[in-house]
Amino acid sequence: MQDYRTLKILDRFEKVFSNLGVDYKVMRRILQVKLTMDGRRVPTIFSQNSGKQVKETTNQYIKSLWIYVFFGLFLIPFILLGNHYLFQMSIFYGIFTIFIMTSLISDFSSVLLDIRDRNILYPKPVDRRTISTAKMVHVFIYLSFLTIALAGIPLIVGFIRHGFLFFILSFVNIIFIDLLIVILTAFIYMFILQFFDGEKLKDIINYVQIGLSLGIMVGYQLLIRSFDLFNFTITFQAKWWQLFIFPMWYGANTELVMNGNIQPLFILLTVLSVLIPLISIWVYIKLNPTFEQNLQKLTYHGKAKERKQSMINRFILKVLCPTKEERSFFRFASLMMKNERDFKLKVYPSLGFSIVIPFLFFINGINNDFEQLSKGNSYFSIYFSLIIIPTIIVLLKFSGKYKGAWIYKAAPIQQLKPMFSAVIKAFLFKLYLPVYLFLSVLFIWIFGVRILPDLLVVFINACIYAVLCFMMLPKTIPFSESFDYYNQNNKTAILLGLMVIVAVFAGLHYISTLIHFGIYLYLVIAIVGLALLWKAAFNISWENIEG
Amino acid sequence: MEEIILSIHDLQKSYGRKEVLKGVSLEVKRGEIIGYIGANGAGKSTTIKIMLGIESDYRGEVKIFGHDISNGDITYKRKIGYVPEIAEVYDNLTGHEYLTFIGEMYGLDFDLADYKAKSLMELFGIGEVYHSRIASYSKGMRQKLLIISSLLHNPELIFFDEPINGLDANSVMIFKEIMTQLAAQGKTIFYSSHIMDVVEKISSRIILLMDGKVVADGTFDELKEQNTEGSLEQIFNELTGFNEHKELGTRFVSVVGEM
């Protein structure tokens, strides 16, 4: 186990910790173990393209910080812009808060919520104060890295642009904001655990992770396109709810100090900016024992209510899957897609992304010339939502709980056809259709009901596409491999080739709109094509299976 | 007089409204191997967790090595070893990293902990995975690792909560031998398990817990005298008032046969 530079810096404060009654040597050792474990965890921000080639010595976490440095660069314009500190810095601190908080929840929850500590460390002759201080210092180390990565360069720019006073003020503000974020996150966990059990909390954390991944995917796209967003008009009107937006407190204190703009409201906000962090520290220390107690609930699995299938669902299922085997695989596959957290973390961001991409192509049109846009045929950009299909079909073979796959071998499964067709159906109806319906509603709102037949055609095309992808990609038993092997053998060429097919679909579709009633003809052809293709696609025996 | 290592007096503990322990009292002398048995949910693990300071907030008195453990002094833990029921470990560490860490938590020197951990792993037949991540271990390997981690610091009092879970028959024999020799050296062992014939063979005294209370306490022979049945399993059934196994089994099998 390596010795960390961070710990060597910490060594200088040994006296401080000893005076607090902390066994420094033990705490240092605990931290060393924790940092080693952190290095082996793959941060969410990287999880989109993780491979097996993780090397022992390179800390994945430190590497992920570069992405935050990159995002930090986008904060610089808010500092350079001018002297409207209230406005600029409120946005600056707001974005900063969102980044730190999502990252804290998605990657550091495991630290805040680690109940192994309790079972592993409590029986050892180590006193509670040392354990809890180690936890605090651990969070502190993590937060300082993150904060420096994100705000370091912007602060230096601020120093050059606005001077030393600005730098010091921002520095102190950021420390206060960090404090507030940690305590706020702890309060949120405390709140959730008070009312729900651990499973619910894990779900919520999972959704934050999904949101972070999606946010980063979309963020790249938007940041590049959004520079014209910066010509905003700056008017400020005091509203009561602004009192609750804490990044604004810090914007206000910057305004107060830098511009000497002494308004009663600004004074109030400035007072809040100092007072609330201090009060929350005190409350946190008071409530920490309750928090630790509630953490025990993480292991507790409450009695869940039995969910009955509604008649409608049963009926739909019967229509979708005529045979019994197919129905049971469909049910299993949809449950896996809905409940397996690792799978969701990998797949749901892409689903979200497929909602966003079609809009990226006419985003400027929405603002400028809505009339013209809604009459045109930009709705063809909905075809871009298809490009996630091959990626997800590849992902269908993975699962965080891949070890459960022994059941396929143990159970007397003779025909693989129902299994594969059910999994593709489950993907189309449980994952793709909801996304597509949502997109359709938005598109109909923009382009009018006239595009309804087109939307139908696109969906049928999506189904055909999914089947084609399935046929061309190597076949593996669904949910049977570890995500560690994702991206191991590169299939980029196949995936790019498959994207060409989307273009062909879109082209044919476009030609059909040139003919009178051509779209309906195309619809009929597509449905027949899908039916024929479906019959042929899934005749697979065990010999065709890879791995 | 023999030295009393551990004494519990009228121990009560509840989670919310649910009372788990309803006044447990017992005393353990040096060198004893206590078989601590009871049905699922009887409160065995809770008792052990309280003695280790994992659970606090109990009523009653717990004294270990003659000192009340509720006074905040934790030095008593230096002489205690513990194998938990649920194998929670930092499994993204290697065996080497985890064991040296645990050793150091007990105040061992890194090199000594490393040497002992390595030798013990080798003796237990899992030396080759010493530098592999624990996450890759089989169930038996993990259990062996836990047993080693509980003994590194040569404890006086050892709590084993289902320690032979997942161990093969040969390893169980090694483990039983280890326990007997430790006890002969004057170590005290508190052994909790559901596997009755192992408990019957190795325990010098058996304590049976039911619904948060001690319902039997004595050597196997004493228990046999008090009860009509022969084996510990049967005594267990009798004391816990359970005699429906035949009927339940029959009904179970008949449901299995339904088509």
User: pLDDT for B154-192, tens place per residue?
Assistant: 999 999 988 888 888 899 999 999 999 999 999 999 999
Please indicate whether, in this complex, the C-beta atoms of A40 and B92 are within 8 angstroms of each other.
Answer: yes
Q: Is residue A8 domain-resident?
A: no
* Among candidate residues A235, A268, A299, the one where a domain is terminated: A299
CB distance from B210 to chain A under 8 Å? no
Query: Which residue reads 């951990």 in tokens?
Result: B117
Query: Burial level of A132, CB count in 10 A (0-12/13-18/19+)?
Result: middle
Residues of chain A with pLDDT under 50: 50-57, 226-233
- pLDDT (0 to 100) of residue A219: 67
Q: Are residues A344 and A274 in the same domain?
A: no
Q: Are residues A344 and A215 in the same domain?
A: no
CB distance from A489 to chain B under 8 Å? no
* Residue of chain A with shortest Cα separation from B75: A125
* Alpha carbons A143 and B194: distance in angstroms, whole number: 46
Q: Is residue A55 domain-resident?
A: no
Smallest Cα–Cα separation from A147: which of A110, A108, A112?
Answer: A108
Output the average pLDDT for chain B. Answer: 87
- pLDDT (0 to 100) of residue A454: 92
CB distance from A120 to chain B under 8 Å? yes
Looking at this protein, which amino acid is placed at residue A134?
Answer: A
Q: Per 3-state DSSP, what percentage of chain A is helix, strand, and coil (rounded to 5)? A: 80, 0, 20
* Among candidate residues A299, A328, A357, the one where a domain is terminated: A299
Q: Which two tokens stand for residue A33?
A: 């173990």
Contacts of A41 in chain B (CB under 8 A): 92
Q: Is residue A46 domain-resident?
A: no
What are phi and psi for residue B73, nearest 5 degrees? -80, 125
A157, A79 contact by CB (below 8 A):
yes
- pLDDT (0 to 100) of residue A56: 45
Give the A:B interface size as CB pairs under 8 Å.
57
Query: Burial level of B6, CB count in 10 A (0-12/13-18/19+)?
Result: buried
Q: Are residues A294 and A386 in the same domain?
A: no
* Residue of chain B with shortest Cα separation from A38: B92
Chain-centroid distance of CA B24 in Å reads: 17
Distances (CA, A) of A23 to A20, A112, A125, A305, B103: 9, 21, 11, 47, 16
* Alpha carbons B34 and B190: distance in angstroms, whole number: 5
* Alpha carbons A56 and A70: distance in angstroms, whole number: 25
Q: Is residue A37 domain-resident?
A: no
* Among candidate residues A273, A299, A325, the one where a domain is terminated: A299
Q: Is residue A6 domain-resident?
A: no
* Alpha carbons B32 and B179: distance in angstroms, whole number: 10
Q: Are residues A225 and A321 in the same domain?
A: no
> A307-364: per-residue pLDDT in tens?
667 788 888 888 888 888 888 888 888 888 888 888 888 888 888 888 888 887 776 5
> B106-140: per-residue pLDDT in tens?
888 889 999 999 999 999 999 899 988 888 888 88
Structural domain for A332, as ranges: 311-544
Looking at this protein, which amino acid is placed at residue A520?
Answer: Y
Q: Are residues A290 and A326 in the same domain?
A: no
Chain-centroid distance of CA B98 in Å reads: 21
Q: Are residues A269 and A130 in the same domain?
A: yes
Q: Is residue A292 domain-resident?
A: yes
Looking at this protein, which amino acid is placed at residue B184?
Answer: A
- pLDDT (0 to 100) of residue A227: 43
Q: Are residues A276 and A322 in the same domain?
A: no
Q: Are residues A271 and A327 in the same domain?
A: no
Contacts of B106 in chain A (CB under 8 A): 124-125
Does residue B80 surpass a pLDDT of 60? yes
Q: Are residues A358 and A293 in the same domain?
A: no
* Residue of chain B with shortest Cα separation from A41: B92
Q: Is residue A13 domain-resident?
A: no
Q: Are residues A269 and A387 in the same domain?
A: no
Please indicate whether, in this complex, the C-beta atoms of B74 and A116 are within 8 angstroms of each other.
Answer: no
Out of A1, A41, A125, the one facing B106 most closely (by C-beta) is: A125
Question: Which residues, numbered 16 to 75 in chain A, qualify as contacts with chain B under a Cβ-Cβ cut-off of 8 Å?
Answer: 26, 29-30, 33, 36-37, 40-41
Q: Which two tokens stand for residue A513?
A: 């709109």
Q: Are residues A247 and A356 in the same domain?
A: no
- Asked if ipTM goes beyond 0.95, one says no
B235 compared with B62, residue with greater pLDDT = B62
Q: Is residue A5 domain-resident?
A: no
Out of A37, A118, A124, the one facing B77 most closely (by C-beta) is: A124
Domain count, chain A: 2
Q: Which two tokens stand for residue A140?
A: 């502190």
Element (H, E) at B208: strand B205-210
pTM of the model: 0.70
- pLDDT (0 to 100) of residue A137: 87
* Alpha carbons B34 and B36: distance in angstroms, whole number: 6
Q: Are residues A352 and A209 in the same domain?
A: no
Please indicate whether, in this complex, the C-beta atoms of A121 and B84 are within 8 angstroms of each other.
Answer: no
Mutation to test the B interface, candidates A4, A29, A115, A122, most B Cβ within 10 Å: A122
* Residue of chain B with shortest Cα separation from A119: B54
pLDDT band at residue B39, thresholds of 50, 70 and 90?
A: confident
